[in-house]
Every structure is written in structure tokens, then in C-alpha cells.
Chain A
Amino acid sequence: MIRLALAMARFQIAAMRRSPHDLMALVNAPLFTVIFLAIVRYTGRDDLTGYAVLAPAMITVFAMALLASGEIIANDRTDGRLELLVASPSPVAVVVLSRIAMITLVSLVSVAECWLVARVLFGKAVAVPHPWLFVGTLAAIGLAMAGTASAMAGLFVLTRSARTFQNSLSYPFYILGGVLVPPALLPEWLRPLTQVVFLSWGTDLLRDSLSEAPVQRVLPRIAAVIVLGGTGFLLGAWLIHRVLLKVRNDGTVSHA
């Protein structure tokens, strides 16, 4: 199974190299960074530089999960590849999750991209006083994002109407995930909702890792990211199973 997962990850790299559309979010990331950093500079809030670097990176990670990972099954179905994949001896869920994991890994390049924009264009080197926490949180966010993406990949096939809202899904997620504005600064009535979004825990931890101050309650907060992301994985695996059963029953495996 590991060999299959690695082969699918390698395949996804090759597929993305030939499909620049899937990488557009990585092109947008530096532009968003410039916008956020320009706002920070204009308001004289250099203390928020880290926020302005993290936000576009997280936006990129989610955008690729939504638009590249979320479309994997739907695209294969439209192009007549899903029925051939179903007929192969490999579990579709493993194939899809491996490919999504690679997309998520590539999307994390945006963190370095945004950091470099701050360093090169604005002369701001964002320090990371808690590097292990930073890396660990990024890894947890990556896993959780891949889980969420697998759920979306299933959902977009199972419920076609969900695709109508695909683009607008981003904005509530950015707000509830505390991408730019920490959840603690959101209206009080909205805060409980942020607790069930893994990214809100993740972005708070990332911001804390950029601060000199000791970080409180690290393990439970990372656990929250992993548990919520793991729920996404389980939901994704279940949805993919349901989707395949449904389309094999309906005879719509190859429907566009």
C-alpha cells in the first residue's frame, strides 16, 4: 500500500507540472503577501508582519485543497478515468488520498514563498523563535487539510450543488480559520464556531510560534488540529466509499 501511495504521489507531481492551473494559487501567494504587508507597513504595525506572511500562505494551502484536491475525483469522472480506476485493483480512497497529500505538501511551499517576499521586497525577516512548534504545527495543518480536501473531493461528486458554492466556501473558512484575524478578535457569537475548524487552532499556534513569549497548552492545541483533521479524513474516506457505491449502483461512474 505504501508503494502505491508513493507512486500516486509521484504521479501527482507529474500531473501538476503539466497542469499549471492547479498551481495558480502558488502564483497568487506572493501577490497577496505584498497586499497584506503593504497594509501593515501603511498602518505602522510592524508587529503584525508575521500575520501578514502567514495569512496568504494559509489561503494558498486552502485554495489548493479546494480547487486542486477537491476536484480530483470529479475531474477523473468527467474525463472518463474514474471507471477505469474503479476497475483497477487499487483502492480508490488510497489513490485519492495519496494524490491529495502530495498537493497539500506542494501547497506548503507557499510558506517559504511568502516569507521570501517579506524578506526580499519589504526587508522584513520574520523570525521563528519556536521552530519545532512551527514545523510541527505546519505538519499537523497539512494532514488536517488533506483530510478536509478528501471530504470535499467526495462531497463535490456526491452533491453536485455543493460545487456551486465551491468558490464561496473559501471566505467563511478564512474567517473561521483565523487566517488573518485571530479568532479571539472575532465577534463573540462567532467564536464557538471557530473551535470546530482545525485551522483556527493551527493559525493561532503558528502565530504563537513567531512570538518570543512561551507558548501555552501546545499539546492539546495540536491535538485539536489533528483530531479535527482526522475527522475530515474519516469523513473523506467514508464519502469516497459512499460515492463509489452510489455511482456504481446508479450507473453514473462515467457521467460528466
Chain B
Amino acid sequence: MTESSPLAVAVADLTRTFVRSRSRLPGRLKRRPPESRTALDAITLTVPSGEVHGLLGPNGAGKTTLCKILSTVLIPTSGIAKVFGHDVVVSTTRVRPLVGVVLGGERGLYTRLTARQNLMYWSALYRQPTSEGAERTAKLLERLGLEERADERVETFSRGMKQRLHLARGLVGNPRLLILDEPTVGLDPAAARDFRGLVRQLRAEGRTILLTTHDMTEAEELCDRVTLIDSGKLLGTEDPRTIGEWLSAWERVTAEGVPAELIDRIRKVEGVAGVEIDSEGRITVETAGDGTSAAVLSLLVDGGVTSLSTSRPSLEEVYLHLIGSRGLNVG
């Protein structure tokens, strides 16, 4: 594979184990043996060039570990990971100019410096001449809506603005592969919507994007394909429409003032996975099949219930359905 490779990311049998030394137990002289934890367990994955690929999984699933290996920050224990055909362990100098990385959170910036100074620093690290760096910095600040605050200290920025600056930093090197690790965590809905719009623009520019997220709706909206990962194992790669089906399949219907007789009838509807009644008499109907929600809603409306709503399950709830009750355990 070369830089014209159709595969932006090719990962085979990738494993990463962390070994952690442990302190002595009280009253014992000998140290406890080191504890090892497998964050990635023989993952195999390919991402074609130009794709927006989602990595979905609960905390501790191994998403960030994979992002760090692909960005050369972390060395894998075994297996192979390539970016545009270049091995991330032995060809770091070829990989790094091709990759932009946004690892999420507020860390990673020089908060006492301005947004422009931060971006100029990173443009220099991506080996751009000063004039080119200044031009690119100005364009990115404008594109990310930060031009009015460009010369203010980053420490005065809101979380959303810092996140946008991180994204600008990730783009300053004009990367072919952009790794976004939970980029919308902590953003308000408007900022998250703007961010999604930007991801679409970047996709239209032909960039490959690897996006980790907890948000299934976001994954469904943005990604060409989605890989589910849990406890370091790859569960599968799906079309986002499949996720849409999961979301609608496990929809919930909540209603108030539902007569007991109607509740019994709802329990008998095909596809109803369960009905819970809280202390205030409100019921939550969990569905597990296409069209079940519509049938339940129809029954409720026919029964004269007017206070009702539907909601989609969270990623964690879908995980509970997909992989059982240990779905939320951090491995």
C-alpha cells in the first residue's frame, strides 16, 4: 500500500495490553505482582480512504487506545496498524504528516496564549513556513468561527470554543486522516450541531475521518460505517442504518394516567419487552421490534391517554440489549 492506497486505515490482529505495577498490601513486604489489562484484543479493521468511520463503545472499550495507536502516540503490544500503507510503529515519520488528531477534552492547549499563537505553534510543528502557517491559521480561525476571539487568551474560552480550537489544531497540518476522539462531549446542542456540519464539510473535501462517540444518533447521522467495540474486542462493523433500526427497535414509550386494564393490554402487544410503572403511576414501555411503538401509541391514544411521549434508547441501553448485562462494565 502507498499513500494512494484506497485504505486509510488497515489494522490486523492489533492488541494492546497495559501492565500496571501494584503497591504492597498493608503489612506485607512483597509487592503484589503487576496487573495487566488488555485494552485491545486482536482487533482487525479497515477504513477506506474518504470514509467517515464511527467507533462506538462504552467507556473503557478501547476506542481511545486505538486512536492513540493510529496517531503513533502509543505502541501496540502486537499486531499491525497501517495508515495509508505506512506502519505506525516503524514508519512514524511517514504517518505523522498524514494524520490530524483531536483527542477531546480541554487539555492540550497553551491556555495562557491566544488561539492564533496556539495554531501558529502547531503549524510550525507541521513544518509550514511562517507565512503559510499564518494564512492557514487565519482561514481555520474563520472557518471554526473563532476569528473574533483569535487574539484572546485560550483560558478565557468556553469549552465549546476550546473544542473548536482543538479541531482547528487537528486540521492545521491539512491531514488526510482526521482522528476525532469524542469531539462533542460537553458541547451544547448548538455547538454539537455546528460540529456535525463541519464533519460533513471535511468529508466532502475527501478526508477520511475516524470518529469515536457514545452518541448513536451522531454516529447514525455522520458515519458511512460504524464499528462496535467493547472490552477491547470488535463486535462488528455495521451500516449506520442498522443502528437506526436498533434505535427504533428499542424505542421507549412513556405515558401518564394509563388505566390498569390498558396496561395489561399493552403487555400483550407483540414486541413489547417490558412495562415499568413508577411510584407516580407513570409507565415506561420498552419495545423490541419494528412497529411495536406505533402499536403501543395507537392503543394509548384509543384508550384516551393524552400525556405520552416516545424516546430513543441511549447507547448504553442498546448495549445492554446487544451484549447483555455486562455491557456497561468497564473492562
Contacts of A248 in B (CB 8 A): 72-75
Please measure, in the bound complex, the distance between the C-alpha atom of A79 and the C-alpha atom of B117, giving whole angstroms: 17
The answer to whether B169 and A86 have CB atoms under 8 Å apart is no
- The segment out of A32-40, A49-57, A87-95, A180-188 that lies at the interface is A87-95
Is B99 positioned at the interface, with any CB of A under 8 Å from its CB?
A: yes
The answer to whether B108 and A251 have CB atoms under 8 Å apart is no
The answer to whether A89 and B125 have CB atoms under 8 Å apart is yes
Please measure, in the bound complex, the distance between the C-alpha atom of A7 and the C-alpha atom of B132, giving whole angstroms: 13
Please measure, in the bound complex, the distance between the C-alpha atom of A81 and the C-alpha atom of B165, giving whole angstroms: 14
Is A27 positioned at the interface, with any CB of B under 8 Å from its CB?
A: no
Is A24 positioned at the interface, with any CB of B under 8 Å from its CB?
A: no
Is B127 positioned at the interface, with any CB of A under 8 Å from its CB?
A: yes
Is B107 positioned at the interface, with any CB of A under 8 Å from its CB?
A: yes
User: In the complex, which residue of chain B has the Cβ closest to the Cβ of A20?
Assistant: B112
Contacts of A4 in B (CB 8 A): 124-125, 127
Is B184 positioned at the interface, with any CB of A under 8 Å from its CB?
A: no
Among B93, B96, B105, B169, chain A packs the most CB atoms within 10 A around the CB of B96
Partner of B126, one of A81, A88, A95, A253: A88
* Known contacts A7-B124, A251-B18; A86/B73 CB under 8 A: yes
Please measure, in the bound complex, the distance between the C-alpha atom of A81 and the C-alpha atom of B153, giving whole angstroms: 17
The answer to whether A15 and B72 have CB atoms under 8 Å apart is no
* Known contacts A248-B73, A249-B75, A251-B74; A83/B103 CB under 8 A: yes
The answer to whether A11 and B124 have CB atoms under 8 Å apart is yes
Is B331 positioned at the interface, with any CB of A under 8 Å from its CB?
A: no
The answer to whether A88 and B122 have CB atoms under 8 Å apart is yes
The answer to whether B96 and A11 have CB atoms under 8 Å apart is no
Is A80 positioned at the interface, with any CB of B under 8 Å from its CB?
A: yes
* Known contacts A80-B107, A253-B73; A14/B129 CB under 8 A: no
Please measure, in the bound complex, the distance between the C-alpha atom of A18 and the C-alpha atom of B114, giving whole angstroms: 10
Contacts of A15 in B (CB 8 A): 110, 112-113
Among A14, A84, A253, chain B packs the most CB atoms within 10 A around the CB of A84
Contacts of B126 in A (CB 8 A): 88-90
The answer to whether A80 and B105 have CB atoms under 8 Å apart is yes
Contacts of A249 in B (CB 8 A): 75
The answer to whether B117 and A14 have CB atoms under 8 Å apart is yes
Give, as a whole number of angstroms, the nearest-CB distance from B135 to chain A. Answer: 15
Contacts of A81 in B (CB 8 A): 107-110
Contacts of B18 in A (CB 8 A): 250-251
Contacts of A253 in B (CB 8 A): 68, 73-74
Contacts of A85 in B (CB 8 A): 125
Is A8 positioned at the interface, with any CB of B under 8 Å from its CB?
A: yes
Beta-carbon contacts under 8 Å, A60-99 to B: 79-81, 83-90, 95
The answer to whether B127 and A90 have CB atoms under 8 Å apart is yes
Contacts of B173 in A (CB 8 A): 88-89
User: In the complex, which residue of chain A has the Cβ closest to the Cβ of B124?
Assistant: A7
Is A3 positioned at the interface, with any CB of B under 8 Å from its CB?
A: yes
The answer to whether B169 and A84 have CB atoms under 8 Å apart is yes
User: In the complex, which residue of chain B has the Cβ closest to the Cβ of A84?
Assistant: B108
The answer to whether B117 and A86 have CB atoms under 8 Å apart is no
Residues 227-243 of B, flagged 1 when their CB comes within 8 A of A and 0 if not, give 00000000000000000
Partner of A87, one of B16, B99, B121: B99
Give, as a whole number of angstroms, the nearest-CB distance from B118 to chain A. Answer: 10
Q: A19-B112, A88-B96 are in contact. List 10 more A-B contacts (CB 8 A).
A: A7-B120, A7-B121, A11-B121, A18-B113, A83-B103, A89-B93, A89-B125, A90-B127, A248-B74, A254-B107
Chain B contacts to A: CB under 8 angstroms: 16, 18, 65, 68, 71-75, 93, 96-97, 99, 101, 103, 105, 107-113, 117, 120-122, 124-127, 129-130, 153, 169, 173
8 A-B contacts, Cβ less than 8 Å apart? A79-B107, A79-B110, A86-B72, A89-B125, A90-B125, A248-B74, A248-B75, A251-B68
Q: What 10 pairs between A and B have smallest CB-CB spacing?
A: A80-B107, A7-B124, A18-B112, A88-B125, A89-B96, A80-B108, A87-B71, A89-B97, A90-B125, A83-B73
